[in-house]
Amino acid sequence: MKLLLIGMGPGIGLSVVRRFGREGFEALLVARNAEKLKGFEQALAHEGIQSRGYPCDIADEAAFSALLQQLAEEHPDLDVLHYNASAFNPAPPTAVSLPVFHSDFRINVVGALLAAQAFVPRMKERGSGTVFITGGGSALKAPAELVSLSIGKAGVRNLAMCLAEECAPHGIRVGTVTVCGMVQPGTKYDPDHIADLFWEMYQTPPASWKREIVL
């Protein structure tokens, strides 16, 4: 079993990989920083979880698309695609820099679309697969100072819903956990708790599938 986690980091990403890794999943990790990816690989190996990192700047559409196509060719049997990437650059609508907004949108929304376009066709051929997207509460209640993130989270939430409708007839499950708070250990938004929610979703039978959990 294989999980591709795009947007690997020390919070939700690491917790999800650990949760699925304990169940026997091999993890493919994508993030911008190669050195940090190596550190994750080593830490996971000590826990008995097999992983491999692929450094890439998700905002670089050409490079990211090339990596996705490579991974899709190498892993046509991918079980779980999880898009966890997010860009956070606070600014109100009248002050946000357009280049920053464009870059954030590529990370928050376009990257998820590209990942789906790379892997969902192969899942359709198999008649199985799971796509997860990490959502955010700013999609539901948009603070003025978070215009870029809010539009990104609203966009990727709608993408998840559109994907879910497209994919359901093909045996592919699509779901999102919308996290309405700051991710922090020991709180309601503990990354391990969020990872457990994704695992619970993964175990849900198709007849009982829910496209979104709002936390």
pLDDT band at 208 (very low <50, low <70, confident <90, very high): confident
When the pLDDT of each residue in the chain is averaged and rounded to a whole number, the result is: 92
The reported pLDDT for the residue numbered 51 is 94
Number of structural domains (the chain) is 1
pLDDT band at 198 (very low <50, low <70, confident <90, very high): very high
Question: Cα Rg for the chain, rounded, in angstroms?
Answer: 16
CB 28 within 8 A of CB 2: yes
Residue type, 120: V
pLDDT band at 196 (very low <50, low <70, confident <90, very high): very high
pTM higher than 0.85: yes
Distance CA 127, CA 132 (A): 17
Distance CA 157, CA 16 (A): 19
Find the CATH number of the domain harbouring 181.
3.40.50.720
Q: Supply the range of the domain harboring residue 97.
A: 2-214
Q: If you average pLDDT over residues 147-162, what whole number do you get?
A: 92
The reported pLDDT for the residue numbered 180 is 79
CB 73 within 8 A of CB 107: no
At residue 26, what are phi and psi to the nearest 5 degrees? -85, 140
Q: Could you tell me how far CA 75 lies from the centroid of its own chain? A: 17
What is 96-152 written as a DSSP string? --HHHHHHHHIIIIIHHHHHHHHHHHHHHHHT-EEEEEEEEGGGTS--TTBHHHHHH
